[in-house]
Amino acid sequence: MQGLVTKSTGSWYQVQDAEGKRFDCRIKGKFRMKGLTTTNPIAVGDRVDFEIEPEQQTGVIHKLHDRKNYIIRKSINLSKQAQIIAANLDLALLVVTLASPRTSLGFIDRFLVTAEAYGIPAGIVFNKLDLFSEEGLEILAEYRAIYENIGYQCYETSAIKKTGIKEVSEVLKDKTTLFSGHSGVGKSTLLNSIFPGMETRTGEISDWSDKGKHTTTFAEMFELPFGGFLIDTPGIRELGVIDIEKQELSHFFPEMRELLNQCRFYNCRHINEPGCAVLAALQEGVIEQSRYESYLSIYHGNDTRA
């Protein structure tokens, strides 16, 4: 029968059937992926075929369905090995704040580029709205304009005052969503106001990570009471930075992507080339200075994750 993988530990998996019943499963046979050596062939969010072993409540996964996308983490100690964290994501939401700890534009852009490279639609949640000063609210309007003009949905919330929660819940409904963001921006508090009871569960996971056990739980999916799933990835709260070819980078900036065939040179780097459509758009203010700076920063390999 068909199922959805809701938990992955590297050695066994939890699979949910159509009725919502969950089974612990092992895998049988080889699951290879072209061009990628993975320590775990199956990930949270995968659609699989599995069989329940007679007289037992455990199952065996024997087939992996095609993925529409997946996110990976490079293994730190095993070179060229990668872990697939989660598959078939509908949305990656980045929680940020302009109150403390204030999220930088560079960080936001890096996240969006990574989501583009993975082929996952992304959105931004501005949290802690209750703490924004008048100046903060002006900056918020500026930031929203930058990102909404490019096509990224933005949301405003106060997890504490419970404002904007309904809007975010509606977006999550019936989707598989990854929540990311710097430590302290309010992800747990926000999730708990969307889904009371979630906090204790995420708390549990943090406890495990404290004891170093997070290496054995790659990721877990939580079913939302109103439909949809949230992916929690203990140990990585930020969408991993992946290797992007310099030549490809501009494809992951939607506002640059649409201009690329207008550059004079097919291999334009958009740095100082004559007849560059990106530089012209920057001059005209069609491309935001901050976005272009992020492009240069990522292009030159500077880490702007602060």
Ligand X SMILES: Nc1nc2c(ncn2[C@@H]2O[C@H](COP(=O)(O)OP(=O)(O)OP(=O)(O)O)[C@@H](O)[C@H]2O)c(=O)[nH]1
Q: Which of residues 191-210 bind ligand X (CB under 6 A)?
A: none
- Which of the stretches 21-29, 164-172, 219-227, 265-273 binds Zn ion when contact is defined by CB under 5 A? 265-273
278 binds Zn ion (CB under 5 A): yes
248-274 b/e (C-beta count within 10 Å ≥ 16 → b): ebbebbebbeebeeebeeeebbbeeee
Backbone angles phi, psi at 149, to 5 degrees: -60, -30
**Which residue number, 237 or 251, has a Cβ lying nearer to ligand X?**
237
Q: Which of residues 69-88 bind ligand X (CB under 6 A)?
A: none
Using left for φ > 0, alpha for ψ between -120 and 50, and beta otherwise, residue 9 falls in: alpha
Nearest to 95 by CA among 194, 217, 221: 194
Decide which of Zn ion, ligand X, none touches 270; Cβ closer than 5 to 8 Å per partner kind.
Zn ion
Alpha-helical segments (H) within the chain: 105-118, 134-150, 165-172, 187-194, 198-210, 254-257, 277-283, 289-299
CB distance 136 to 150 below 8 Å:
no
Residues annotated in a binding site for GTP: 127-130, 181-189
Residue nearest to ligand X (CB): 186
Q: Which of 114, 158, 233, 250 binds ligand X (CB under 6 A)?
A: 158
**Which residue number, 99 or 256, has a Cβ lying nearer to Zn ion?**
256
Site map for ligand X, 229-268, x if CB under 6 A?
Answer: --------x-------------------------------
Indicate the DSSP class of residue 66: P
Q: Which of 5, 268, 282, 298 binds Zn ion (CB under 5 A)?
A: 268
91 binds Zn ion (CB under 5 A): no
Q: Report which residue type is found at 275.
A: G
DSSP codes joined into one string, 224-261: -TTS-EEEE-TT--SPPP----GGGGGGGSHHHHTTGG
111 binds ligand X (CB under 6 A): no
Query: Which positions touch Zn ion (CB under 5 A)?
Result: 263, 268, 270, 276, 278
Footprint of ligand X (CB under 6 A): 127-128, 130-131, 158-160, 181, 183-189, 237
